[in-house]
Structure 1
């Protein structure tokens, strides 16, 4: 069963009964606000996740993600939540400093 742990949201654990879902879909389906500006199309980086562990549990980077890496808009260890699929296993992520919402309390 796919599981997402969001470190700087007090180690919030999100379980999904669905497999092969985009990370952002799993997060939103569980009532958690996660920034996205382009309609989840992989055209911006507002939904990026900082991956702390579980990289092998995600789908390979998409063309959009590879382009952003090449441009320096994503760094190693960062993925787009709207592009990365979580087929199974656990990932541990963080919300980036510039991707935080002002109405949500974050832990550090």
Structure 2
């Protein structure tokens, strides 16, 4: 099992969380399976930036970002050198620390 430490986020995870997940799952799916309702407006098809996360620890263990993801990340709010679209970032065997950005650029936000 791999641990994902989710840093506190005022709306989505006020207390933060520690998730135990199987390698091979995306960060987005891991968050959703643990009731952290990260936005994913394109239904995890790498067509938006609403599931943007910042991987504070363990970034290098993730699969390499493809060109489509990198192009979309350029539009993400709060982009950093360790940003990923959580729907595309596959968890390996290295523990991760993930920050959920304060904002997204989802203009048609839906509450689940």
Higher strand share: 1
For normalisation by structure 2, the TM-score amounts to 0.77
CA RMSD for the aligned pairs? 1.9
How far off is 1:11 after superposition? 3.5
Equivalent pair of 2:57/2:96 in contact (CA under 8 Å): yes
Aligned residues between the structures: 98
For normalisation by structure 1, the TM-score amounts to 0.80
How far off is 1:86 after superposition? 0.3
Task: Trace 1:67-86 onto structure 2 (pairs within 5 A).
Answer: 67-69=71-73, 72-74=74-76, 75=79, 76-86=81-91
Structure 1 unmatched ranges of 5 or more: 104-108
In 2: Cα distance, 1:3 partner to 1:57 partner: 13
Comparing 73-82 and 44-53, the one that deviates more: 73-82
Match of 1:2 in 2: 2
Task: Trace 1:49-88 onto structure 2 (pairs within 5 A).
Answer: 49-69=53-73, 72-74=74-76, 75=79, 76-88=81-93
Structure 2 unmatched ranges of 5 or more: none
